[in-house]
Chains A and B, each alone.
Chain A
Amino acid sequence: MKNAEKLDEQLHQLLEGELDEDGMSKLNLELLNSPTARARYRHTMALHSALIQKGHSQSALEAALRTAETASSDSPSRKRSVVMLIAGALGAIMISGLSLLLLPSRTWATVLESSQVQWEQGATVADKAHIPRDQLLAFKSGSMRIGFRSGASVTLEGPCRFELKEPEALTVVHGRVSVHTPDGAQGFRIDTPGGKFIDLGTEFGLAVGSDGQAPVILTEVFKGEVKIVASSITPARLVQGESRALVKDTHQATLLSALDESPVYLNNNSQSLPVENQVSDAANLALGKPVSSPAYYASKHGSVFPPEKLTDGRLNDSGVPGDWSFWLAPNEQHGEFTVDLLQPETVVRISLQNTNNRKIGDRGVAAFEAYGSLDNKTFFKLVEGDLPRIDAKTDTIFPFRDFSFSRSKIRYLKVVVTHHYRHPERPATHSHHSGGLNEIRVFAE
Chain B
Amino acid sequence: MQDHSLTAEEKLVTLIGSHQAVLHRYILTLLPDRALADDVLQETNLVLWRKAADYDSARPFLPWAMAIARFQVQAARRDSKRDLHVFNDELVDVLAQEAASAENNSAPMDHALEQCLKELPAKQREIILARYKRNGSVKVIAAEQGRTPTAISLLLMRIRKTLMQCIEQKVSLS
- Interface residues, chain A, CB within 8 Å of chain B? 8-9, 12, 14-16, 18, 21, 24, 28, 31-32, 35, 38, 41-56, 58-59, 62, 95-98, 100-101, 103-107, 110, 113, 126-130, 147, 149-151, 184-185
Residues of B52-87 contacting chain A, CB below 8 A: 76, 79-82, 85-87
Q: In whole Å, how far is A189's beta carbon from the nearest beta carbon of chain B?
A: 16
A12-B157, A49-B24 given as contacts; is B91 within 8 A of A31 (CB)? yes
Residues of B85-130 contacting chain A, CB below 8 A: 85-88, 90-91, 94-95, 98-99, 102, 106, 109-110, 113, 128-129
A residues in contact with B140, CB < 8 Å: 127
Report the bound CA distance from A122 to B129 in whole Å. 28
Report the bound CA distance from A110 to B113 in whole Å. 29
Report the bound CA distance from A300 to B17 in whole Å. 61
B residues in contact with A55, CB < 8 Å: 129, 131-134, 136
Total A-B residue contacts, Cβ distance less than 8 Å = 166
Residues A106 and B134 in contact, CB atoms below 8 Å apart: no
Report the bound CA distance from A41 to B87 in whole Å. 12
- Interface residues, chain B, CB within 8 Å of chain A? 17-18, 20-21, 24-25, 28-29, 32, 34-35, 38-43, 45, 76, 79-82, 85-88, 90-91, 94-95, 98-99, 102, 106, 109-110, 113, 128-129, 131-140, 153, 156-157, 160-161, 163-164, 167-168
Interface of B is mostly: helix
Residues A50 and B95 in contact, CB atoms below 8 Å apart: no
Report the bound CA distance from A133 to B134 in whole Å. 20
Interface of A is mostly: helix
Report the bound CA distance from A62 to B17 in whole Å. 21
Q: In whole Å, how far is B167's beta carbon from the nearest beta carbon of chain A?
A: 7
Can you sample 7 A-B contacts with CB below 8 Å?
A: A14-B86, A31-B95, A41-B95, A44-B164, A50-B109, A55-B136, A127-B135
A14-B32, A52-B28, A128-B137 given as contacts; is B110 within 8 A of A96 (CB)? yes
